[in-house]
Amino acid sequence: MNIVVCVKQVPDTWAERKLKQGDATLDRESVDGLINELDEYAIEEALQIKEAHEGEVTVLTMGPQKASESIRKALSMGADKAVHLIDDALAGSDVLQTSYALAKVLENIGFDLIVLGAESTDARMGSMAAMLAERLSVPQLSLASKVEINGTAIKVNRQSEDGYWQVEAQLPAVISVVEKINEPRYPSFKGIMAAKKKPMQVMSCADAGIDTSLVGLANAATEVVDFTERPPRQAGTIVKDEGDGGNKAAEFLVTQKFI
């Protein structure tokens, strides 16, 4: 089975994340990048599927040179090869354009199953699985907390607020996974040493047949019109307990609509 995991390099969630003055795109230079956390669950799931059914796991990422760090991590976890879509024309692409670009690459490299993390920690659109499924005309099974594959049939538990739905489809398909699905493995020493020797294909827009007039900040369907820096944290209210501390705490919770 040919499994492709789409991963995204995002700014470290512990760092202070900022938009750039000027074009209002994410400032990727001033913070450390790392692999989007939910994508690690996607990689783990792909590896488990491969281990149970045989096949090959390919990691696909779109992003600047720095994104190769995330590819390296995925390869050291055990993925077999990688494709890095890198082109200046892609800078500032929104989710619609990114799904178009990734779909082009996926058509090129072929797939039986595409695995994604349910959302990224930076943009948090959570819509890539749906968009890829639409563009590639394959079923999507999103928010999976469990995946079962039997021949060409795929069955997932789709997480919802009250429980889960059981959703079935035929491969090829796109799935997105939630945190509950597994426990991602750590890269091993052997995995790290082997990562460099694994094939990594670098693709440009031209290689993938991506029309550059449809991608990039200038052609995006959505535009960030304005933004303001997050205000500094306000000092909290100190309630002095003079026998009525409980009431005062309750009053505070009422004003904040917690109770």
Q: Given the complex with other proteins, which of 152 and 188 has the nearer CB atom?
A: 188
Q: Given the complex with other proteins, which of 35 and 177 has the nearer CB atom?
A: 35
Non-local (6+) Cβ contacts of 131 within 8 A are 95, 96, 99, 103
Q: Closest separation between CB of residue 155 and other proteins, Å?
A: 31
Q: Closest separation between CB of residue 35 and other proteins, Å?
A: 11
Q: Given the complex with other proteins, which of 72 and 104 has the nearer CB atom?
A: 72
Give me the count of residues in the chain: 259
Alpha helix locations (H) across 54-88?
68-77
Q: Closest separation between CB of residue 34 and other proteins, Å?
A: 9
Q: Given the complex with other proteins, which of 180 and 196 has the nearer CB atom?
A: 196
Helices 68-77 and 37-53, packing angle to 10 deg: 40
Q: Given the complex with other proteins, which of 189 and 258 has the nearer CB atom?
A: 189
C-alpha to C-alpha distance for 106 and 60, rounded to whole angstroms? 9
Q: Which of 45, 7, 252 is nearest to 154 (CA)?
A: 45
Q: Closest separation between CB of residue 180 and other proteins, Å?
A: 18
Q: Closest separation between CB of residue 58 and other proteins, Å?
A: 19
Non-local (6+) Cβ contacts of 207 within 8 A are 108
Non-local (6+) Cβ contacts of 1 within 8 A are 49, 50, 53, 54, 55, 56, 112, 113, 149, 171
Q: Given the complex with other proteins, which of 55 and 187 has the nearer CB atom?
A: 187
187 in Cβ contact with 76 (< 8 Å): yes
Query: What does the block give as tokens for 47?
Result: 């590896």
Map tokens 């281990």 to a residue: 51
Interface residue list for other proteins (CB under 8 A): 72-73, 76, 186-190, 192-193, 195-196
Q: Which residues face 113 on adjacent strands?
A: 3, 173
Q: Closest separation between CB of residue 102 and other proteins, Å?
A: 25
Q: Given the complex with other proteins, which of 64 and 139 has the nearer CB atom?
A: 64
Query: What does the block give as tokens for 81?
Result: 């090869």
Q: Closest separation between CB of residue 72 and other proteins, Å?
A: 6
